[in-house]
Structure 1
Amino acid sequence: MVKVSPEIILENEHFIVINKPPGLLSIPDREGKEASLKEILQQKYEQIFTVHRLDRETSGIIVFAKDAETHKFLSQAFEERTVEKYYVGLVAGTLPDKQKTIEAPITENTVKRGVMIIHKRGKPAITDYKVLEEFGKFSFVQFQIHTGRTHQIRVHMQYLGHPLVCDEIYGDGLPVKISSFKRNYKLSKNEEEERPILARTGLHAQRLRFTDMNGNQYDLEAEMPKDMRALLQQLRKNS
């Protein structure tokens, strides 16, 4: 088992909120060969219940319950859309509308397992987005999702023609290198080839707002990981 010490944003006797690193599964996959955040937490706590999940490459805020009652309450809150979920991401190109609501139903592709598509037989899916910064080739966007469909933001942004950067399923999957936007970029002497600055889907679950069983309100944020922060810094410097 991989020894990862996940960054704890908040912990109490009923639930734990983690800033999930990119590249780590939220829960075990079918094969069960790779480490998952849930298994790492299970080593520390006797029981851990899955409330919701994030894609492997997506970083950010995720909640696990510590008891069955909390699990039921929080799962229902997510189901009933009383939890506010905000993400930030880097998308390809410049969006014509700086703020918009996307309503397009999502279902699984019947031919390609694990790939989601927009289709009228799908479940309702609603995403609000707001462009925060523009860099020509890329835009930094905030999303609020009102439904929790698999790959929702990724599918909706592909549908708009502005997929998330480095998205292998819904975009071109190409890693972002500084040379792609910095003029006259030169490799340093000890580098044989340029290393990508971001090589995974550029999406981060930034913020959750919810109320617990006892009526306590939470508004929690997870800091963006190093790769996305570094790319934003370079884009701000070079655009």
Structure 2
Amino acid sequence: CHYCTFVTVPGKLRRAGHGMFLSPDEVLAIAREGAAMGCKEALFTLGDRPEDRWPEAREWLEAEGYDDTLAYVRAMAIRVLEETGLLPHLNPGVMTWTDLQRLKPVAPSMGMMLETTATRLWSEPGGPHHGSPDKEPAVRLRVLEDAGRSNVPFTTGILIGIGESYEERADSLFELRKTARAYHGIQEVIVQNFRAKPDTAMRGMPDAELEELAAAIAVARHILGPSARI
């Protein structure tokens, strides 16, 4: 999307001397360092199915013996849990029902930000999510519902200040409440404020101010209720 800071491309990785993915040794080194510092959980965060876009990613996975990125994530989640004791929290983007079923046995929890239900920010040219098919609100809401039906403890949330209206911001929270009440699977709701970053398409956008963030948190508390973790 137009504000992402961690996305990269194969050419940049090669120039920096990195592989297409973190190697198993690199994954475990990070996890062991976290465990030594007292961490209890390991966050696995990555882009949606890079092998669908980049031949280099697909070739790396094939060379390592994995059918796709999620197969590699699953294998590393098992190793991190068994070799470091950290609990894997998987955030690999949009997942299908089948994906959730194969990852559920190796991860106590998963997550994916809803961000917004404002479809126009995805469908209209110039919008922050335009050209990012995985950011379609209906697709992300389907993931939340499938996670709930699968009894997967799930972290989600909204991102404020990317061009949504107050009404759209509230609608996003009402959708989260609807899913939470239906399946009781949403364990945490993040209310995140947009901050402009250099070298992104939205670097000239104003930040969401702290007063806006405080107001959004207050509205989230009112809509989601006192038992919600926000």
TM-score range, shorter chain: under 0.3
Give me the TM-score of the superposition, normalised by structure 1.
0.26
Give me the TM-score of the superposition, normalised by structure 2.
0.26
Name the one with the larger strand percent: 1
Name the one with the larger helix percent: 2
